[in-house]
Chain A
Amino acid sequence: MEKISLQFDRIKEKMNFIKPNKKRDFLLLATLILALPYIINSQYLLRIVIMIGVYSILALSLGLVTGYAGQVSLGHAAFYAIGAYFSAVLSVNFGISFFITAPIAAIAAAICGLLLGLPTLRLSGTYLAITTLGFCEVVRMVLLNWEKVTNGPLGINRIPRPSLLGFDLTLANNGMYYLMVFFLVFTTVVMLAIVRSKIGRAMMAIREDELAATMMGIKTTTYKVIAFVVSAFFSGLAGAFYAHMIRFIDPNTFTFDTSIMILSIVILGGMGTIKGMFLGAAILVSFPEVLRFLQEYRFVVYGMVLVLMMRFRPQGILGGQKKTAYKLPKGVIVDINSNNSSIEVREAMNTVEEVI
């Protein structure tokens, strides 16, 4: 086990060579992503790739709550379901375009996240885990019993395809793939923006030591709620996308199993990382397809991932301390004495003098 953990370290170092900030690598990666459907040229594989994308979005959202803010949520299947149902019901019953229903669905999920987060997030982490678990169950009950709207256990079918300027996006014309890429890039960009800012730092501080964070003036409940709401928003978005891709949803699509799978992805990839979410999703979504003989045990495997990772490598494959230097924002001067710099910096220096 320790050896495997060391292997992960090696993988991690190799992954660090991929630096999207380098222009050439970035272009290479972008080309690869855009050309992927033509490279693999198989609907079956493409469908798996799209599901990896969907679970990456889900893992990125849960990653903000669990990986960055350190709160465990078991209810992400519920937000996924709310997004899916909201978008499906609106577009089936009122014929509204996916590109309008999807944002509405995401906002609906975010509002549910707010209502659930407010009472629970001011308490210690355990309460969130269990109330989100309960929330998941309540959502499922509503989906099963509110037949007028949700069609109960039969589910909703013939959900319209997303259509852009009269052009239907399908799996066959790769439209769904590119739509997924768009959503995934959108999610990633927003997550990166949050994580690399004072809000991200506040969330990590809460994860590391909530009391000390309070003593730094951080309104801990507020930031936990922000993480949770943003997270619910993107889970809802993923749900809307899923509903319009598969075109059929029922309450059994969104169970506790889904929540556990998302959590396993976050833990395997590495809490507090962005790259890890893609890697985790790629591994855990594709493994039941690759290792067919393990199909029956796939849920046991998700459980094992949680237990074994916590025991032997709690930081996940790509998580933990980096060997690279901290990335300072452009324009920061480390060597203060040897500068003959612009007015802006001198202004900044004046404020520095005032503080010290």
Chain B
Amino acid sequence: MILQQLINGLALGMVYALIAVGYSLVFGILRLVNFSHGSVYAFGAHIAMVFVGMQFGIIPALILSIIFTGVLGIAIDKIALAPLRAKKSKAIAALITTIGVSYIIQNLLMIVFGSQTKFFPKLFDYGNVHIGGVSISTTQLFIFGVSLALLLLLTFIIRKTKIGLAMRAVEQNPKAANLMGIDVDFVITFTFFLGGASAAIAGTLISGYYQVVYPTMGFLAGLKAFSAAVLGGIGILHGSIVGGLIVGVSESYAAAFLGGGYRDAVAFVILIIVLLVKPTGLFGKKGVVKV
């Protein structure tokens, strides 16, 4: 039982990590918590559902969803956030804007697709694997594998590629990076694309796991992923992964031992504890105030 819940939690946690990375990426570069990320995730799941419904097959549907959702991420930045940066608006303006964007996306999904829960086919379902009393479904293995591969790919992009280097430079100091000839706008656009893309994948994986899609699905998932990002230290990639796993496993244990009614509250409790004990998160360093 304990081991079984651990397995369930790890699969779930990997997906949370994937969403959390989206928060971390944008936060790292813009020092902004992108509230719309949860809705972007829901959008990704809906797009995948549409293409699966049109008999595209799961992989092409996933790819199309990545593209559409990535473009949505870019659009959010270009239409809503970039003008605020150009105007040098206060931080609160960007925060409120992302809240508004999130709400618009969620309600447009509701108008277009209806607010009811819709069916999503189970992904990669070839029954269960039994190992010493623990049963792991192939779906869980698939989710875990895909998420892990993507997180490794993201880490590779940021650590080893030229654009990753540019991202890290912008994260350190956007002005200086700009003077060094880095196209900061492009880096931001790329970051939003990555965030959108990972949200699309996470949305598709979770929908395939629970077999349901609904417009407000991003609300709780976003909250949990944010808790995961803060737990690991927001802005830190590997922190988000560890945070995601901890949130996923805790949730799965809470569902087993406390009952389903309160399972969604676990992430929130974790968030409050982190903020009380170590607001910078597990791997976070204390930032230096610039005066």
Contacts and interface: CB of A to CB of B under 8 A. Distances in A.
Q: Do chains A and B touch in the complex (CB under 8 A)?
A: yes
Interface of A: 66, 70, 72, 74, 119-120, 123, 125-127, 129-131, 133-135, 137-138, 141, 144-145, 211, 256, 260, 263, 267, 296-297, 299-300, 302-307, 310-311, 314
Contacts of B276: 119
A127 B220 contact: no
B95 interface: yes
Interface string B159-177: 0000000000000000000
29 contacts: A70-B92, A123-B279, A125-B92, A125-B95, A126-B33, A127-B279, A129-B33, A133-B223, A134-B268, A135-B268, A137-B223, A137-B265, A141-B262, A256-B219, A260-B99, A260-B103, A263-B96, A263-B99, A296-B111, A300-B107, A303-B100, A304-B104, A306-B103, A307-B80, A310-B94, A310-B96, A310-B100, A311-B83, A311-B97
The binding surface of chain A is classed by DSSP as helix
B119 to A, nearest CB: 24
Query: Could you say which interface size class chain B belongs to?
Result: 35 or more
B272 interface: yes
Contacts of B89: 310, 314
B268 A72 contact: no
Contact of B111 (A66, A125, A133, A300): A300
Contact of A125 (B83, B91, B104, B107): B91
B214 interface: no
A340 B143 CA distance: 84
Contacts of A70: 92
Contact of B275 (A131, A144, A314): A131
A211 B94 CA distance: 20
Interface string B78-89: 001001100001
A181 to B, nearest CB: 31
B256 interface: no
Contacts of B223: 130, 133-134, 137
A137 B220 contact: yes
Closest 10 CB pairs of A and B: A306-B100, A303-B104, A303-B103, A134-B268, A307-B100, A145-B261, A299-B107, A310-B93, A126-B33, A303-B100
B91 to A, nearest CB: 7
Contacts of A267: 96
A352 B104 CA distance: 55
A219 to B, nearest CB: 17
B285 interface: no
B108 interface: yes
A120 B271 CA distance: 10
B214 to A, nearest CB: 14
B100 A305 contact: yes
A120 B230 CA distance: 13
Contacts of A120: 272, 275
B226 interface: yes
A311 B265 contact: no
A144 B103 contact: no
A319 B224 CA distance: 35
B272 A307 contact: no
B272 A306 contact: no
B95 A126 contact: yes
A211 B289 contact: yes
